[in-house]
Chain A
């Protein structure tokens, strides 16, 4: 963007903490449970008691590697564990176990579509570490510490500073949120803080031939897409303003942390912790290094689901979904899987796509669930789609049948027959309806025969009349043919007269 002859280019990188959906903590068997009584999910390991020995949770490693593979990262052949000094009582060991110089995953990238462009964001690293407990300072006189969350496995994903604005950063965050849920590695419940964002923001400012780079600000602990977006927008404005006032530029050591105030809608400086940057990492002698075997990594790779971005492309082409509607069926993996299963049962793909977007979505929304949440077997969807394809029922009847299928286990054909929703393809029956329609509407017949300009409209009208007389049961294709036949039969005498 350009303001007053000054060109401003935001430079944004993102750190994302993703809580992994393991059953137990990273280093001990305590359960991961949100909202449990404070300190009821603790043991000597996560309390940091002397002599306790942490043991690595295998599932946390596997989840991390899944994410790494999905982000096209290099998977380490050897990863070690480091202690990061930490002086706060919500992590009572006085250090956090993390990965300093040998992260599990590094040098990846992620591609997504934003504003009709393919964006490629480089992933610097993704490493596994433990979360801290919770500090409650509701009472100003003291802090109350709950260590239930201490030792929860977190995957910290760090991007390169490849974003240039708030919109695309938010879009990446949304895509990453969908990805980790797709992979089944995190519930990523934002309300419960299971996914948290920390953008690093500064500006490259060009004025004439001069270039200035403002100090980097890290906004800590954002837990919604909305606040992520708002904080970035606010920082871009604030830094531009501050640069005009002070002219301060980036130097070694003037990176700052700010917090987002959701009420005032602004970032505020955070009180710096004493020597907070002096982490004094050193290898944790209690923990053995981890060396994922190439065979195991290959097996994990084999087991990966189709990822949302390529799946969206495939759904658009295979199920003929409009591009803007495809995410509605892809975002929820169970629903997307269901659509594929229904197609695998022999359901016509284009019809399934149409029906998933129309009445099946409607039923799901009305019941505040997903289409998968309707709990119908895949072949039910296939059966209904194919009834439409073979012309046995029309679109209106299909919608009615879909509603019926939610509470009726019988074959949809049987239900349609019972309720009189089947279309007729019986030529004699339809011919009788056609004759009745022609007899009742001589003006339309005259239009069709006498005025080529009105032929199309007149035939449409007569088809509608046949549908009305038949109660919607007349097969449209057979009806069209019989109307054509009846009109051409009638045309000879008319032409002669």
Chain B
């Protein structure tokens, strides 16, 4: 499990890099502003990290439930028109996005 890199201060260049990966377009002013905010958030996480957790098993889910499942039955999909309703661009029945490398899930 990767630990948050809390000691690192987030600067505008790092915000710009993450924004690029997330395909968000941010202005230079926004990068500056988010850098300050993200640094604050991470320093809060750093404080949490110092909490004594010896002997406490990690919590993976805030609800105390297990085995929430459904039977394998087909439910109606919403249809192509609804699926594409919010798409900035379409190509036939597909979402049209800037050319990308092959995914690799």
Contact = CB atoms under 8 A, between A and B. Distances in A.
A41 B93 CA distance: 11
A61 B61 contact: no
Contacts of B78: 42-44
A44 B82 CA distance: 10
A41 B66 CA distance: 28
A143 B74 contact: no
A31 B104 CA distance: 22
A289 interface: yes
B91 A142 contact: yes
Interface stretch (A83-91, A208-216, A477-485): A83-91
Contact of A57 (B69, B94, B98, B105): B69
A55 B75 CA distance: 13
A130 B92 CA distance: 25
Residue from A47, A257, A274 whose CB has the most chain B CB atoms within 10 Å? A47
A291 B69 CA distance: 11
B67 to A, nearest CB: 6
Interface residues of A, number: 71
Given A281-B1, A291-B66, A41 B100 contact: no
Count class of interface residues, chain B: 35 or more
B75 A29 contact: yes
B65 interface: yes
Interface in A278-296: 278-283, 285, 287-291
Interface in A121-155: 129-132, 135-137, 139-147
A78 B60 CA distance: 11
Residue from B69, B77, B101 whose CB has the most chain A CB atoms within 10 Å? B77
Interface stretch (A93-101, A103-111, A430-438): A93-101
Given A144-B95, A289-B60, A96 B66 contact: no
Nearest to A287: B61
Interface of A: 22-24, 28-31, 37-44, 47, 55-61, 78, 80, 86-91, 94, 96, 100-101, 129-132, 135-137, 139-147, 220-221, 257, 271, 273-276, 278-283, 285, 287-291
7 contacts: A22-B72, A39-B83, A39-B95, A94-B22, A132-B105, A142-B89, A143-B99
